[in-house]
Chains A and B, each alone.
Chain A
Amino acid sequence: MAATALDSEITKSDKYSILLPTYNERENLPIIIWLIVKCLDTSGYDYEVIIIDDGSPDGTQDIAKQLQKIYGSNKIILRPREKKLGLGTAYIHGMKHATGNFIIIMDADLSHHPKFIPKFIELQREHDLDVVSGTRYKDDGGVHGWDFKRKLISRTANFITQMLLRPGASDLTGSFRLYKKDVLQKLIDSCVSKGYVFQMEMIIRARQLDYTIGEVPITFVDRVYGESKLGGSEIIQFAKALLYLFATT
């Protein structure tokens, strides 16, 4: 009894800061916020959402301000930047203003559903993990809206990466994750790559620094609004990052 009372004391003080980097997401932003509030208010966890908008020309920030009025400025925090400056720096920028001891990162384009956040938190608490990563490649995880070619590229890239890097996590390029705040800070400091391969490097560095990693299968519904991107230049970026990490870690 004493142990459980103590546990609940510790977990009561846990706070989760959700970082949402946005660029032209005026259609998606209200819906993702609504979903986060719906999924987390019922779970009872203490949380805040930090919106980091990189100067979207479509009025994302105006929508964000309205949402702040609706849900309160203790729940919705706006930390815009003037122009597009990249994902890694967006996390650093958001983290500076985060009051939680855990950071959750996710995409604002509705491909990541907040209903998985309570599962991330439960798994983290169960094993006191440093990182919990959502995975599209295991058990009930999956992807909606990908054709054969996209699946083939994705599975092949994943197979090669698993073979060369043995990262101890099945989804390296996903960006739906929970980190202890100090762990995320250290990982960002040790990462050199930019763009979406940054997510892959974060997990590899986590393994290198002996952090514990857990995985939660997630369903990934590819962009409902707007275009999803996977072109030749992304594949080349990925291959370069893979070889770099293969030779240096």
Chain B
Amino acid sequence: MTKLLEWVSVLSAFVAVWYSLVAGYVKHPMIEKNMTLVIVSPLIFVILFGLYAVSVILYRVFTFNNCEDAAKELQEEIKEARRDLQEKGLRW
């Protein structure tokens, strides 16, 4: 099964459950009392997920390792390499 089909099947399952509640196929006083909440629940879910995504991404941007030491070490090694290669007779 492709990833697209996995997404489609999981989404259809959610839509089926949601629609059966909204259209009244499943009846329960709790559902009728909170009908507005049931109707907007997909929107709430999308918003919550969006907030989650934005916070995770921003957290990872701000904690992205800058590798200052690796850059400094490389600069030193470049100098050393140039000296050594010159001695070995490289012309460039």
Interface size of B by Cβ–Cβ distance < 8 Å? 29
Contact in complex: B57, A159 (CB < 8 Å)? yes
- What does the 1/0 interface line of B52-87 toward A look like (CB < 8 Å)? 010011001100111110110011011001101100
Interface size on A, residues (CB 8 A): 38
Contacts of B77 in A (CB 8 A): 31, 35
Minimal beta-carbon separation of A69 from chain B (angstroms):
8
A145 touches B71 (CB 8 A): yes
A221 touches B64 (CB 8 A): no
Once A31-B81, A34-B84 are accepted as A-B contacts, the answer to whether A141 and B56 lie under 8 Å apart by CB is: no
Q: Which residues of A contact B88 (CB under 8 A)?
A: 70
Q: Does A177 contact B (CB under 8 A)?
A: no
Stretch from A74-82, A93-101, A146-154, A232-240 forming part of the interface with B:
A146-154
**Do residues B4 and A142 form an inter-chain contact, with CB atoms below 8 A?**
no
* Contacting pair A34 B67 (CB below 8 A): no
Convert A25-45 into 0s and 1s, putting 1 for each residue whose CB lies closer than 8 angstroms to a CB of B: 011001100110000000000
Determine whether A248 belongs to the interface, using a CB cutoff of 8 Å to chain B.
yes
- Contact status B66-A142, CB under 8 Å: yes
The reply to whether A113 and B92 form a contact with Cβ atoms under 8 Å apart is: no
Q: Which residue of A lies closest to B91 (CB)?
A: A66
By a CB distance below 8 angstroms, the chain B residues around A146 are: 64
Q: Is B29 engaged at the interface, CB distance under 8 Å to the other chain? A: no
Contact of B56 among A27, A145, A159, A247 (CB under 8 A): A159
Enumerate chain A residues within 8 angstroms of B56, measured Cβ to Cβ: 159
Chain A residues lying within 8 Å of B57, measured Cβ to Cβ, are: 152, 155-156, 159
Shortest CB-to-CB span from B83 to chain A, Å, is 10
Whether a CB of chain A sits under 8 angstroms from the CB of B2 is: yes
List the B side residues contacting A144 at CB < 8 Å: 66-68, 70-71
Q: Mark A159-199, 1 if CB is under 8 A from B, else 0.
A: 10000111000000000000000000000000000000000
Answer whether residue B3 sits at the interface, using C-beta atoms and an 8 A cutoff. yes
Binary contact readout A122-137 vs B (1 if CB under 8 angstroms, 0 otherwise): 0000000000000001
> Residue A92 at the B interface, CB < 8 A?
no
Residues of A within 8 A of B (CB): 26-27, 30-31, 34-35, 63, 66-67, 70, 110, 113, 137, 140-146, 148, 151-152, 155-156, 159, 164-166, 219-221, 224, 245-249
Chain B interface (Cβ < 8 Å from any Cβ of A): 2-4, 7, 53, 56-57, 60-61, 64-68, 70-71, 74-75, 77-78, 81-82, 84-85, 88-92
